[in-house]
Amino acid sequence: MTTSSAFDVLPTTADAQPSLEELWMPFTANRAFKRAPRMLVSAKGMYYTAADGRQILDGTAGLWCVNAGHCREPITAAIREQAGVMDYAPPFQMGHPLAFELAQQLARMLPGDIDHVFFGNSGSEAVDSALKIALAYWQSKGQAQRVRFIGRSRGYHGVGFGGIAVGGIEANRKQFAGQLLPAVDHLDHTHDLARNAYSRGQPQHGAELADGLEALVQKHGADTIAAVIIEPVAGSTGVLIPPVGYLERIREICNRHGILLIFDEVITGFGRLGAAFAAEKFGVVPDMMTVAKGITNATVPMGAVCVRGEVYDAVVNAAPGGIELFHGYTYSGHPLAAAAGLATLDVYRSEGLFERAASLESYFGDAVHSLRGAPHVVDLRNIGIVGAIELEPRPGAPGARGFETFLKCFEAGVLVRSTADTIALSPPLIVERDEIDRMFEVVGEAIRDVA
């Protein structure tokens, strides 16, 4: 008698190529990808190796996350070692030392009096956790009517229901409309090509857009608003850099009305702007920060909400006893992620990577702005080790020019990111000057080739 097993269907030879059909890829044109796949098979330092053996210069730090470069030995060694010591420990009513150690180290790095850390596994989880903590905070302060969130048009806060509700990218919402948070409003975004095109660093014009928050406070009433959530520099929507004075004014309005301010630093955290966090770069301290990506150099998924002591005190220390926050994930503070996080912070610190990013900012900015005058370019902007090249959309085909430029760059051996018709570059912070030169040479050629 033959027995069948669920495992019979797996390929049995080492070189069998998997079918591409079964995997439902995220944020991907699945059918087009599967017709012409772009596969990466290994990575080291600044480079990926593609399935056809080509070296691909990583102009995007993976997805804004591999800030120290790929497969860094101290980080992979720490993960390997931890996997052999303790693979997993339950985080509810139990603990393990590495999660506490990582929280302590983060608390030392965090700005102002942000000194408590709640772990999750991604930016999306960090955002949803932050929104829930904001609600719990107001409940514990006896102001349970503060339930409204203010996000910003074009904002990206991941893909949880909370994140897409406060986010301001229509495409991420419209398939799911009707199921989002009930009380959300949005500020205008700050992108203003008419006044700010070709800015280096922070644009000069637009601080007054923060006054939109005052208008929303007047409309809804301050005592209904739990928190404002914004990305200090919006990344996924195509790199929107805050105008001079804008974040300060948002902070000031939140202070005036006692509204919590959340900075979503999932992209801006861990050196991307040439400082540990955007809060430090811009000198504006929020009440909570969400981080992920660079926290473990993207080796093991991890995200976190970092909060001011006052928020922790209100929810935890003022509670009568028992479990104070009915929220958490099976993998909150996972041992492998915690080990990876500690090793990552050590690499950032010992190699001075945040300072390195600061010292490269001007060279990187020059490279971005060297593309001035290239065909279809309508804006170039940069801050820290982030650059954006905005192309004029092809009539009737928005996004096509950006995507074709991304494809051409990949063919030429450089990974860039396209969001609609903006090309974003955000390489690992170990990038060398000649690699920056090469990235922008290739992008320039691709732009000239794409009609």
Binding site for ligand PLP (CB under 6 A): 122-124, 127, 156-158, 231, 235-236, 264, 266-267, 292
Q: Which residue, 239 or 446, has its beta carbon nearer to ligand PLP?
A: 239
Q: Which residue, 63 or 400, has its beta carbon nearer to ligand PLP?
A: 63
Whether 281 contacts 275, CB under 8 Å = yes
- The nearest distance, CB 95 to ligand PLP, in angstroms, is 24
Q: Which residue, 130 or 216, has its beta carbon nearer to ligand PLP?
A: 130
* DSSP output for 51-92: TTS-EEEESSHHHHT-TT-BT-HHHHHHHHHHHHH-S----S
- The nearest distance, CB 276 to ligand PLP, in angstroms, is 16
- The nearest distance, CB 129 to ligand PLP, in angstroms, is 11
Q: What is the rounded CA–CA span in Å between residue 149 and residue 127?
A: 12
Residue located via tokens 């030429």: 412
- The nearest distance, CB 74 to ligand PLP, in angstroms, is 23
- The nearest distance, CB 155 to ligand PLP, in angstroms, is 8
- The nearest distance, CB 117 to ligand PLP, in angstroms, is 16
- Report the 10 Å Cβ neighbour count for 243: 23
Plot region of 162 (φ>0 → left; ψ -120 to 50 → alpha; else → beta): alpha
- The nearest distance, CB 98 to ligand PLP, in angstroms, is 21
Q: What are phi and psi of 200, to 5 degrees?
A: -105, 125
What kind and span of H or E run contains 255?
Answer: helix 246-257
Please identify the residue of the shown chain whose CB is closest to the bound ligand PLP. Answer: 123
Nearest residue to 370 via CA among 296, 420, 440: 440
Q: Which residue, 131 or 409, has its beta carbon nearer to ligand PLP?
A: 131
Measured CA distances, 177 to 164, 165, 218 (Å): 10, 9, 27
Q: Which residue, 159 or 259, has its beta carbon nearer to ligand PLP?
A: 159
Q: Which residue, 114 or 267, has its beta carbon nearer to ligand PLP?
A: 267
Q: What is the rounded CA–CA span in Å between residue 446 and residue 405?
A: 6
Q: Which residue, 70 or 157, has its beta carbon nearer to ligand PLP?
A: 157
Strand partners, 418: 423
- The nearest distance, CB 151 to ligand PLP, in angstroms, is 11
Q: What is the rounded CA–CA span in Å between residue 433 and residue 169?
A: 34
Q: What is the rounded CA–CA span in Å between residue 31 and residue 8?
A: 27
Q: What is the rounded CA–CA span in Å between residue 232 and residue 248?
A: 11
Q: Which residue, 167 or 203, has its beta carbon nearer to ligand PLP?
A: 167
